[in-house]
A and B are shown apart, each in its own frame.
Chain A
Amino acid sequence: MVIHKKLLRGSLSNHLRFIGSILMIAICVCMYTSFASSMWSLFYELQDYRENCNLHDYLLSVSNEIDNADALADQYGIDLECRYYCEISRDDGDVIRLMSANELVDRYVVREGGDLSGEHDLLLDRQYAKANACSIGSDFELNGKTYTVRGYYTEPDFTLITNSVKGISINHASYGIAIASKEAVSSLPQAAVEYLIRCRSDHFAREDFLKDVYASAMVEKLIACESDNRAAYIDGDLKIYTKGMQIIPLFFLIVASFVVALILSKLMKAETVQIGVLYAMGYRPMDLYRHYISYAVVISVCGGLLGIGSGMLLAPVLRSLVTERYSVPPFRISLEPGTAAVSLLIPVCFLVVLCSLFMISRLMQSPLTLLRNQAAERSGFSFRGLAMKGASFTTRFRTREILRNAGRYLFMVFGVSVSAVMLLLFAAVLGSLNKMMDETFSRIVNYEYMYTYADMTTGKPDGYRTNLNYLLLDGEEISVNGVDTHNTHMQFEDTDGNPVTFEDHGITINLSEKFDIHAGDTVTLKSRYTDAEYRIHIDRVIVSYAEDFISMPLDEFNTYFGYPENSYLIVTSDHALEIDPELLLSVSSRKNSRESIDETLKPVRYLMISMMVMAALVSFILMSIIISMILEDSRFTISMLKILGYSDKRISGLLIDFNRYIVILAFAVSIPLILKSSSKIMGYLSEMMGMHIPTYLNPLHAAIGFAMLYLVFIAVKLIMKRKILSIDPAETLKSGE
């Protein structure tokens, strides 16, 4: 219908608002689509991968091979596969975890190159290979033996390549995994053994099974796949990405819908008489509703399509965020029809619903009211009531301006606050992560090297010793550490801020919160394999971010659990120790750990920074749209002021400058909000990452956030100044508004 040309031309002449609205929608949809399409693709591919490769349900560490493994597997209805492994330091200090290739559980997939064929063949994980330029077919020295790199591979239990099941740190350049044939690895003197268990049914008599295993081998620990970071850590990230990260775009989308609805209602207000005329001519309210709603539909469809397009461009970037970090199959990003539909439907529905609400109230008015333009008269506040005696002209003018546009300014405060909250939230996450890193590596971790033995050792090495025992607390396995008293290599503080000297019994804050155990309580721990029960009185709660344990003095620990005197598993030292590498399970240095955690957190940091930029962008669009709407309304006033001889500078001073207080107000509103909500969010994050992350909003980050918002305001101001300049008083008067 020809009437639609009206909106089209109107949109073109008000392109700033029109394009701004489309861009807002597009940004939201882009965020949504890119996350949804890349992360859901990954999610499904990962499921297939795990199913096809028979991912283990439990990882069982034992002291030696189990005698009757096949019989046990049949008896308990499980797939049971033995894997030999060891960690080998290379000459350049890199550590390779060499494992035997599996055939039944956690089957490997060759991603590039060929399969293993001989004793001297090796498959490497691609990330280490790429970082260290190990090409296919090249030689690879390990433990004085030369292997040939046959290809690159992945296996489902090592999506996160790190040195322990609790580890979250990665450093692809210095830690890698490799597989060789079973014969090759089992023959290595330092090879340890573990079993991978895949349950064939839901019923696995776990405790009975362990007791049977106990008959032929010492069980060190049994770890469920969910608590194995190497296999399952990715699920937490995927959960954030697939669920959490889609909430933010939705949030922005609501703001955007409000803006578009506001624009529409403003448009309709300006066209009140026209609507009355159309009514008088016999247009039905429904025709007009359709006419105006088409504006919302066009904006949301354009924004949606643009967003989907740019989202698909952004998706590979997000994919690289995951593939950089995790060793996963090279998944293809496809736009699922569902995602596409949701990406389009969400903005369309939001916009249509909100705009309908705004419009219906206008369209319900009688044609006569519209024709007489009674609705256009602002009733609102009574300005006359405000005498404001003694106030300067500027103050009075601004006060009226604000009162006149109270709704819009409130909305602007709301919108900018939302953006500020987002900005600060991301800043808080950033600050908290940094704080955790600093606390951990500048205070708590005070050693240079940490050596973990494959088997319990006795003696008094040059350093501080730790011995470990894994026991069940409420059915969940936790670590009890025997620590050398006055161990200065780990400088924890307790919840009262006192340094922890390990002379009494402590529990880490994460466990304390999880199991509701406080200083003065007694915990009862059970052995997994015998009927033994241990009771430990807790004296203090230790603030630890990444580790969870119950600590007691080493000598007491060894006596209590019946280990030989002076036995230990871990030794920390401030200089390199000469220990036969064949005895060691792993070696780590503080520098390496820090680098690898930094590496781990890199994508999170980038993500947070890009989110901050997005939030700033949204507030930019929001401010420009609203201020331009207000200026548009004040066109006549501006013309009058110009004719009266006011300079452009003075006019923009009157009309725009005070918006800075809105930015400041919005920011001030957001700070308490963020302090309240971020501890919740950090709690959620902590739970997901299995760490205790302190909530901390760095004042510097807050300042940067504010600077970003303020810069946005200055940019908007410059643009709006040009808009004021472009208003021609002669033309305004002629149009007789």
Chain B
Amino acid sequence: MLFEVKNLTKNYNTPAQKFCALNKVNIQAEEGEIIVILGPSGSGKSTFLNIIGGLDTGYEGDVIVGGTNLRTLGNAALCEYRRRNIGFVFQFYNLIPNLTVRENVEVCSDISDKPLNIDEVLAAVGISDKSRSFPKELSGGQQQRVSIARAVVKNPRILLCDEPTGALDYASAKDTLKLLEHVNRQYGTTILIITHNPAIADMADTVITLRSGEITSIRRNAEKKQAEEIEW
């Protein structure tokens, strides 16, 4: 078992009111799975992902990843945890504008103790020919590939993707999904994908649906589809 979430509760205490973003969430996941998280806006998806990723603290319950309870870790230890285990893919790519594609990937491989070969990763995401370009010279889809390459090159155990296709058109979104699937297969990386697109759920091993901070369903796909086959 890769991670286990027990009774996870996250409250935001704003001066106006007490707001419960996650309420007693329990999830278990195996190594190498693709997990898709669905749910309406404001249901707590990002909150959940950020907690798994070691970005958010101040919650109740336990989050145990690879045998470590994240709640017991301090800031520095969380940083180490992220460094070793986590890769992030953001909706708006967030590449560093002053660095070329290759350098953007290098920034991440620099801090890993078991990085993958940069050229190999660039080839895998199909962006080798643009490796000397700057982010502003790329299309959105291409930038998302770089952002995936950047997350993957560290060879993390878990890849966390917060709406990776949210800003992309159909074709680019599909390419991105294929890429994630490829990464999952080739490197055995566990992938969590947040999406508003229910069609994507078909390529997952596990589909989790959240509503108002509570899990409404956890479904295991008996037969998951190839990313290629998904249509929306």
Contacts and interface: CB of A to CB of B under 8 A. Distances in A.
B53 A280 contact: yes
A9 B111 contact: no
B94 A281 contact: no
Contacts, number: 71
Contact of B79 (A5, A9, A284, A368): A284
Contacts of B154: 281-282
Interface stretch (A204-212, A222-230, A271-279, A468-476): A271-279
Interface string A1-17: 11101110110010000
B222 interface: no
Contact of A1 (B57, B76, B88, B110): B110
Contact of A2 (B76, B79, B80, B106): B106
Contacts of A285: 79
B103 interface: yes
Nearest to B134: A9
A368 B55 contact: yes
A77 B104 CA distance: 81
B82 A368 contact: no
A735 interface: yes
Contacts of A284: 76, 79, 83
A10 B82 contact: no
B110 A2 contact: yes
A606 interface: no
Contacts of B90: 277
A353 interface: no
Given A2-B107, A368-B50, A280 B98 contact: no
For chain B, give the interface size range.
Answer: 20 to 34
A281 B108 contact: yes
Given A10-B98, A371-B55, A280 B110 contact: no
Contacts of A6: 96, 98-99
A281 B82 contact: yes
Contact of B86 (A274, A282, A735): A282
A282 B106 CA distance: 14
A277 B154 CA distance: 14
Contact of B99 (A5, A13, A273, A735): A5
Interface string B61-78: 000000000000000100
A285 B55 CA distance: 13
B82 A280 contact: yes
Contacts of A251: none
Contacts of A5: 98-99, 103
A460 B67 CA distance: 114
Given A1-B110, A2-B106, A9 B56 contact: no
A367 interface: yes
B136 interface: yes
A277 B83 CA distance: 12
Contacts of B87: 281
Given A2-B106, A6-B96, A283-B111, A277 B88 contact: yes
Interface residues of A, number: 26
Contacts of A274: 94, 96
Contacts of B211: none
A282 B84 contact: yes
A284 B103 CA distance: 19
Contacts of B84: 282
Nearest to B90: A277
Interface in A341-374: 366-368, 371
A91 to B, nearest CB: 77
| Interface majority SS (helix, strand, loop, mixed), chain A | helix
Interface string A180-200: 000000000000000000000
Contact of A282 (B79, B99, B103): B79
Contact of A3 (B86, B110, B136, B151): B110
Contacts of B82: 279-282
B83 A282 contact: yes
A279 B83 CA distance: 9
Contacts of A3: 99, 107, 110
A7 B82 CA distance: 24
A9 B80 contact: no
A71 B103 CA distance: 88
Nearest to B109: A2
B88 A280 contact: yes
Interface centre among B50, B79, B84, B87 (most CB of A within 10 A): B79
Nearest to A10: B98
Contacts of A287: 111
Nearest to B151: A281
B103 A735 contact: no
A38 B151 CA distance: 57
Nearest to B108: A281
A283 B96 CA distance: 14
Contacts of B56: 368
A508 B64 CA distance: 89
A273 B90 CA distance: 11
Given A280-B53, A281-B82, A367-B55, A2 B88 contact: no
A269 to B, nearest CB: 15
B122 to A, nearest CB: 14
Interface string A314-336: 00000000000000000000000
Interface of B: 50, 53, 55-57, 76, 79-80, 82-84, 86-88, 90, 94, 96, 98-99, 103, 106-108, 110-111, 136, 150-151, 154
21 contacts: A2-B106, A2-B107, A2-B110, A5-B98, A5-B103, A13-B98, A274-B94, A278-B107, A279-B82, A280-B53, A280-B88, A281-B86, A281-B87, A281-B107, A281-B111, A281-B151, A282-B82, A282-B154, A284-B76, A371-B55, A735-B136
Closest 10 CB pairs of A and B: A282-B83, A9-B98, A282-B82, A2-B106, A277-B94, A6-B98, A280-B88, A367-B55, A2-B103, A284-B79
